[in-house]
Amino acid sequence: MDSAYNRLIELGIRPSIQRVAIMKYLLTHHSHPTVEDVFLALKKQLPTVSRTTVYNTLRMLSEYHAVSMITIDDHRVCYDGVTEPHAHFFCKRCEKVYDFEAMEMPKYTGKIGEGFRIDDTQLYYKGLCPKCLAAMEAVEKVS
């Protein structure tokens, strides 16, 4: 059986053709796509899929913790099929999001207040990726 299909079943989500395709895309593309990225990629194989369907499905998958919604960038929301704890790095120049899966995630052990429950924790770093940093340094050497 397809791992995307099985993941939806395990979470109690009815596996429609569109939901399975979207889940499969996120499990196989670790590029932290936006709604538009997923829509354009799936439009080729599912000509009847709409942006609204992709948007609503990604929101629903996020609510079920099947995918992570990444809001590291002020201009867009990205999605990640990897739900195991890991950090993200956002390059402020090329705007790519990178995973840091091997990093040890900090664990909050203190109380945040009476009656609060933590459902999600995300760790983001922002800066320049190696490629953009090298490009900027090359320009500075020429100047």
Binding-site residue ranges for Zn(2+): 91, 94, 129, 132
Strand pairing partners for 124? Answer: 88
Query: How far is the C-alpha of 36 from the C-alpha of 136, rounded, in Å?
Result: 29
Dump strand ranges (E) for the chain.
68-70, 78-80, 87-91, 97-100, 124-127
Beginning with the edge strand found earlier in the chain, give each strand of the sheet holding 87-91 in spatial order: 97-100, 87-91, 124-127
